[in-house]
Structure 1
Amino acid sequence: MGKLVIYVHGKGGNADEALHYKGLFPDANVLGFDYMAETPWDAKKEFLVYFDSVAAGYDEVILVANSIGAFFSMNALGDKPIKQAYFISPMVNLEKLICDMMMWAGVSEEELREKKTVPTNFGETLSWEYLCYVRENPIEWRIPTKILYGSNDNLTSLETMREFAQKIAAPVTVMDGGEHWFHTAEQMAFLDRWIRE
């Protein structure tokens, strides 16, 4: 039945962003996935149901995922028949990110374990359950993947990204001056070239 591209947005994004990718995959049906989940365990259920409902009958499925959407996809879809994945600023080490945020917020592991959740002044709520989940469910990802990373990404270091990429044998393309969120005209032009290559 041809080719399907599933686009998974990041936090604060939406499924309409998928429209940008229609021009990059002219021979494919491009769908944006408007998921509701905010935790990896909820996302796992939601992503599996969605994938099975839309991917049935296609000869080839390509995944394009952004930020936390890439993490949720890896957590849920590792066993699915995906031919190729393109990850834009993927969150690849949530344990490290949560521990970094705890450090920024001055919250100890003991305090988080006792309180279960701690709101921070930078808009994220730290969650003991979330931290435990990412520790107990390490990512297993064997799907051929390409990673796009901005050198000014404030959530994941290049070292962390390279370490992960090496583990899954994925090439990393670094945009000098790129941010975690690719959105300017220059950044989107760079992203388009990266996908076309």
Structure 2
Amino acid sequence: MKAESIKINNIPAIIWGEKSDKLYIHVHGKMSCKEQAEHFAKIADKKGYQTLSFDLPEHGERKESNYRCDIWNGMHDLTEIGNYAFSKWRDVSLFACSLGAYFSLNTYADRNFRNCLFQSPVLDMEYLIQQMFCWFDITEEKLYLEKEIPTPVDLLRWDYYQYIKKHPIKKWNIPTSILYGGKDNLQSVEVIQKFVKSHDCKLSISQSSEHPFMEKGDIEIVRIWLEENL
């Protein structure tokens, strides 16, 4: 399909699909990249939407950068992408996955998106970090003393932890549909259901799926969910 590579204030991005006045911003998750939006973009294109995907810090073309993939840089980049999208398209919607959903929640609460789709979203980062404390035998006191502790999942940072504790997600008024895997170990079903209830979201649960939705049959589950909710 048609794919135009561009840079938005030095952020590598791709505009997918035939020209339209309708667009989805596609925010990928950890260990992904802008090219992974192609499957989504093909479905969106059939429904008359273009897709704008981009590399988060330390991902894709930006892997070797010293520009960290943290909440501050993530919010900065999503703001740049949002400004670009809303200046060039009349009708803008949002798709975000995993960490990309968390960055979006922190950045886009005041944006006038027509629709929002979250796949395996991280909705409560404090919950996830406290899970990592348990998994890797780390205490809040140890993180305070050391400031940064590497783990197999991600780098734990004291300043990041303090930020997310002080900025829980409260405001989100955008019509939102969520796809969640019943075997997701990053966010509990209780965390998801609490958010859904608080923000009047539509929830689909695939009981056999894990967080990445990469096992046999998951591609079809995601495709059907996208077809129904795009």
Secondary structure, aligned partner of 2:194: helix
Q: Report the equivalent of 2:93.
A: 62
Greater shift after overlay, 17-26 or 3-12? 17-26
Contact residue 147 and residue 172 of structure 1 kept, 8 A: yes
Q: Report the equivalent of 1:133.
A: 163
Which letter maps to 1:12? Answer: M
C-alpha distance in 1 between matches for 2:35 and 2:185: 25
Deviations 1:24-53 (CA, angstroms, capped at 9, x unpaired): 222111121212151111111111011101
1:32 aligns with 2:53: yes
Unaligned stretches of 5+ residues in structure 1: none
1:13 aligns with 2:22: no
Contact residue 8 and residue 32 of structure 1 kept, 8 A: yes
Q: Report the equivalent of 2:21.
A: 2
How many residues matched?
A: 196
Deviation of the 1:100 alpha carbon: 1.3
Q: What TM-score, normalized by structure 1, do the two folds share?
A: 0.94
Secondary structure, aligned partner of 2:50: strand
Unaligned stretches of 5+ residues in structure 2: 1-19, 58-67
Moved over 4 A (4+): none
1:100 aligns with 2:119: no
Answer 1 or 2: higher relative contact order, Cα 8 Å, separation at least 6: 1
* Identical amino acids, percent of aligned pairs: 32
Which letter maps to 2:157? Answer: S
Contact residue 209 and residue 215 of structure 2 kept, 8 A: no
1:50 aligns with 2:71: no
Q: What TM-score, normalized by structure 2, do the two folds share?
A: 0.81
Deviation of the 1:23 alpha carbon: 2.5
C-alpha distance in 2 between matches for 1:33 and 1:55: 15
Which letter maps to 1:148? Answer: L
Which letter maps to 2:203? Answer: V
Question: Quick one: which of 176, 179, 186 aligns to 1:145?
Answer: 176
Which letter maps to 2:206? Answer: M
C-alpha distance in 2 between matches for 1:111 and 1:8: 33
Question: Quick one: which of 187, 190, 193 aligns to 1:156?
Answer: 187
Contact residue 102 and residue 126 of structure 1 kept, 8 A: no
Q: RMSD of the TM alignment (CA)?
A: 1.4
C-alpha distance in 1 between matches for 2:53 and 2:157: 28
